[in-house]
Amino acid sequence: MIRITAIFVLLPALLIGAAVVSAQDRTLPSVKRRTDGRTANNPDTDWRKHMAGVCRADSEPVGARVLRDYGSIFAADRSVTPPPVCVFSSEREVSDFQASVKTRTENIGGVNIELQAAAMDALSAAISQAAERGLRISPRGGAIAGKRSFGDTLRLWNSRFIPALNYWVARGRIKKKVADAARKMPVIEQTEQVLAWESEGLFFSTGKDRSILTSVAATGTSQHLSMLALDVAEFGNSSVRRILNDNGWYQTVADDSPHFTYLGWADADLPNRGLRLVARGGFSYWVPEL
Ligand SMILES: [Zn+2]
């Protein structure tokens, strides 16, 4: 009788366990997993609902691009806080969000990097594991490799937007009056205007041959605003990438190879989080399955 009772108690527990641990994970016990039972608190539908709620991809072209290009961040495990909006629209909105989450600052390679605490914990573990193997993991491009302010993203956007706008005005492709109005637009409207011009072949990248979004995030959309991203100097080293991946850090923005995002999950879990792996130029990126 005791044995039968044990089966009735244990069997459902085993079935629940099997449901939350993917088959691939169970065959890879050596992979360091960071899910720690968080799966139960973070069902797949949670982040999809959140993502769809904040980005309204069906009606807003900018929302659709943010989701496609940077949407993986919404799949991060709930030890961290994903962005509460699709596009931050002001410095105040960014600083309020940044002040509302638990963060930790570490000096990495002589640069102070501030990230959400769980993301920094995972990064510190990766740095220690790399050091054991004689490898370094360090920020690329100074302190903005980690946290950015709204003003940082505005400056980066304007470094591409303003010269390209002047370029197309000088060539008579955009009227000066229209360009001047675009300069004064709120960020989302301005990004929509640029995407509309680009759909007519007037590109805003540095070389005027590709979308501005291939070289810079739209103002207020960078994953760095959420303190869940780090640009890594050693991104070209496959052992470094593996160590970062084993600690929940992944490349998630196609073609932005130095850029890593904290997702927390083991890579075997990522397809269950709505992400798919794409190979580009020798790198592998986890992007949203849309
Ligand atoms: Zn980056």
Angle 245-237-78 from CA coordinates, rounded to 5°: 20
66 CA distance to ligand 1 middle (Å): 14
228 CA distance to ligand 1 middle (Å): 10
Tell me how crowded residue 208 is: count the other CB atoms within 10 A of its CB.
16
pLDDT tens digit sequence for 183-205: 999 988 999 999 999 999 999 99
State the Cα–Cα distance between residues 32 and 206, nearest whole angstrom: 41
94 CA distance to ligand 1 middle (Å): 17
pLDDT at 39 over 90: no
State the Cα–Cα distance between residues 182 and 234, nearest whole angstrom: 38
79 CA distance to ligand 1 middle (Å): 21
State the Cα–Cα distance between residues 29 and 201, nearest whole angstrom: 50
Could you state, in order of their start, the residue ranges of all structural domains in the chain? 38-148+222-288, 151-214
State the Cα–Cα distance between residues 60 and 287, nearest whole angstrom: 20
263 CA distance to ligand 1 middle (Å): 14
pLDDT tens digit sequence for 72-124: 999 999 999 999 888 898 999 999 999 999 999 999 999 999 999 999 999 99
pLDDT tens digit sequence for 217-254: 999 999 999 999 999 999 999 999 999 999 999 999 99
Q: Distances in Å between the alpha carbon of 220 and those of 80, 153, 217, 263?
A: 19, 6, 8, 20
Q: Distances in Å between the alpha carbon of 96 and those of 81, 85, 106, 182?
A: 13, 12, 21, 27
186 CA distance to ligand 1 middle (Å): 23
